[in-house]
Amino acid sequence: MLSDAQFIRYQRQLALPEIGENGQQSLLDSRVLVIGCGGLGSAAVLYLASAGIGQLVIVDDDRVESSNLPRQVIYRERQIGQTKVDAMAEQIKAINLDCRVRAISKRLIGTQLELEVLNADVVLDCTDNIHSRQQINQLCRKLIKPLISGAAIGWKGQVIAFDQLPLSPCYHCLVPDSELPAAQRCNEFGILGPVVGIIGTLQALQAIMILTRQTMRNANQLTLFDAHLFQFQTLNVVKDPQCEVCGYPQTDQMKGEATCQI
């Protein structure tokens, strides 16, 4: 049951009929796993914490650097040198004491990663490498956990939410390769801060819609954003019948271009 203080704090969300008191309570009771605390993760976490997510589990093994600050907007200059998860946890607590934080300052693999995915209501993939993305996807598919994957490079970004239904595709259907060509390595490209901010914010929006039991109208649809043209494009993604993770007989397939978050 919401407290009087929570009614006041979240009144503008409560006024939305699609959320209301029950939806807000669902947010407060939820646990979201955010893997990657860079540009995507920092934008997503700002809105998730502000919305009243009950628990955020944040995972990253990096430290804050000055070159992060133009696009990883949750961090401050005084936090340079801190681990990203500790710096992010500090900011989350300053935003909303309703939001509990568990910070994991290492890369998760194997059983540890599986346990965190199992305990989450929604998983946000904000990582910067294909190998991690494929591991996260495989576990989300196995454990039937909604996965919201975001990526951005240069002036372009993309976001997609996988609902993990039996006939639905997975990330491996979209990006079947486990490695990026050398020419597509993230650290060789520039990135504009607002681009990752837009994609990270869309990830947060999709998570909130899932957690408040709204119909996933955009599930399994790849949304592409071109900041230079200021245009969005949406493509349907269907299951790859040869997918190693979720393969199921079907006639058509669509494979997308891999990008990476910085």
> What are the structural domains of the chain?
10-236 (3.40.50.720)
User: Using CA atoms, how far apart are residues 176 and 252, in angstroms rounded to an integer?
Assistant: 15
Q: What is the mean pLDDT of each run of 10 residues along the chain (262 residues)?
A: 96 97 98 98 98 98 97 98 98 97 96 98 96 96 98 97 96 82 59 97 97 87 97 96 80 38 37
The answer to whether 127 touches 15, Cβ cutoff 8 Å, is no
Q: Tell me the one-letter amino acid at 93.
A: K
| Residues belonging to the chain | 262
- Pairing label, strands 100-104, 55-59: parallel
What is the Cβ-side half-sphere exposure of residue 213, based on CA atoms within 13 angstroms? 11
What is the Cα 27 distance to its own chain's centre? 16
User: What local confidence, expressed as pLDDT, does residue 122 receive?
Assistant: 98
- Element (DSSP H or E) covering residue 143: helix 130-143
Helices and strands of the chain, counted as H and E runs? 9, 8
First to last CA, the chain: 39
Q: Does the reported pTM lie above 0.85?
A: yes
207: helix, coil or strand?
helix
Active site residues: 186
User: What local confidence, expressed as pLDDT, does residue 177 receive?
Assistant: 78
- Pairing label, strands 55-59, 147-153: unpaired
Q: Which residues pair with 56 in a beta bridge?
A: 32, 101
Return the closest-CA partner of residue 196 out of 153, 160, 230. Answer: 153
**DSSP tag of 220:** T
User: What local confidence, expressed as pLDDT, does residue 236 receive?
Assistant: 95
